[in-house]
Amino acid sequence: MAACAILSLLLTGCWDSADLDNIAYVHSLGVDYDHGHYKIWLGLIDPTKSGIEESKSTGETSRALWVVYGTGRSFLEAVNAIYPSSPKRVSWSHFSLLILHENVLRGPYKEVIEALTRYREVRYTSWVYGTKDTMGNLFTANLPVENNPLYYYVANPKRVQQFGYVVPSVRLNEWQRALHEPVGSAILPQMALNHQRDVHWPKSKDKPYDELLLPTVGVFRHERFMGWLSHRDMLGVFWARTGGTRVPLFLPPAPGSTEQVILYIHHLHVEIHPMQRRHHWTYDLKISGPVDLAQEGQGRAEKEIITLAERVIERDVRRTFRTGVMHHADILNITPKVYRGALMLWPPNTRQKLLNNLELRADSLRNVNIHLTLVHTGMRTVD
């Protein structure tokens, strides 16, 4: 017995585990849909390699990430078409990123989500995005990072977006929860390649790097895709959302000056105050937060800078609200405040009346009170 106990300590604990050399991990999935056929792209990670390496002996290129393409009449048929061609076992245990093309969002996206999440290795905490771009271009983009494409973005997109991103990232469980809410709207960020070339990274082997952007968001109401907002119309989504993303705000220069004012606004706090009228609800918004002054410009005092910034934010919020009313959607998500608070007061057979009263009108948004506090001006004092 003692000998058996000693021998058992020498045995490894994972008898059914596979070597890393024999596993390819799926970290990203792109899905498109065209005339009854699903097209999918898989980003596969080889954990035994880092980035793109070149063998000293053979000169051959060794990649840490591969992109595989498959098609089928159903989503699962397209996925299973890839497995026979893979020289390694494909594992979904590190799946982190889902990109759905606009064709899928306007069609069978619910079937894709249902089939994907039925598999036990796929978690609801994956990041999800929509796109209008060609899916193959996204997955083969030449990004200025070691592991590409898209690999750097899925590790922690919120960390990447700490500076300068207005569009919030969304996890699959958050998006699914918002889709099934009877009020409000579900927001899906759009992923795209920058074709305007406003920013240029150094070239790699005479090939310019691609630039990955989140230009705007898509809006869903009652699980139906309403379309993409323009960047101008979606700015109110950020200002009316409590969060800590640090975003620059560019103010026009003072009369007689060419130097604009640049502020960084972060850690906004949003309060929604609903009021019941006879047949509908109205809302007051209170938005407050700290401001850092990056460039003060010329000819503007501190009070004038803050007042101008508050006006710009109020304008953006009201524009986004009006856009939502035009499309019968609550883009700012202000109605859930009433729905959750009043739900217990309404009998089940009268809740449809409550939903009708929550329909937004042009006059539903009354006051938008903005209160910004200048907390940092660098090494200079603003007049």
Q: How many residues does the chain have?
A: 383
pLDDT of residue 60: 44
Q: How far apart are CA 104 and CA 133, in angstroms?
A: 13
**In this predicted structure, what is the pLDDT of residue 152?**
52
pLDDT tier at 263, thresholds 50, 70, 90: confident
Render pLDDT for 316-337 as a digit per residue (tens, 0 to 9).
999 999 999 998 889 999 988 8
Stronger pLDDT, 166 or 46, i.e. the higher one:
46
Lowest model confidence (mean pLDDT) among 47-51, 109-113, 181-185: 47-51
Residue 119 has pLDDT above 90, yes or no: no
Q: Is the pTM of this model over 0.75?
A: yes
Reply yes or no on whether the pLDDT at 347 is more than 80.
Answer: no
- Could you give the CA distance from residue 370 to residue 286 in angstroms, rounded to a whole number? 6
Contact 65, 151 (CB under 8 A): yes
* Average pLDDT estimate for 175-188: 90
Band of residue 313 on the pLDDT scale cut at 50, 70, 90:
very high
Q: Tokens 């503007």 sit at which residue? A: 300
- pLDDT band at 228; cut points 50, 70, 90: very high
- Are 291 and 305 a contacting pair, CB within 8 Å? no
Q: Which domains does the chain possess?
A: 21-228 (no CATH), 233-383 (3.30.300.210)
Read off the pLDDT band of 197 (50, 70, 90): low
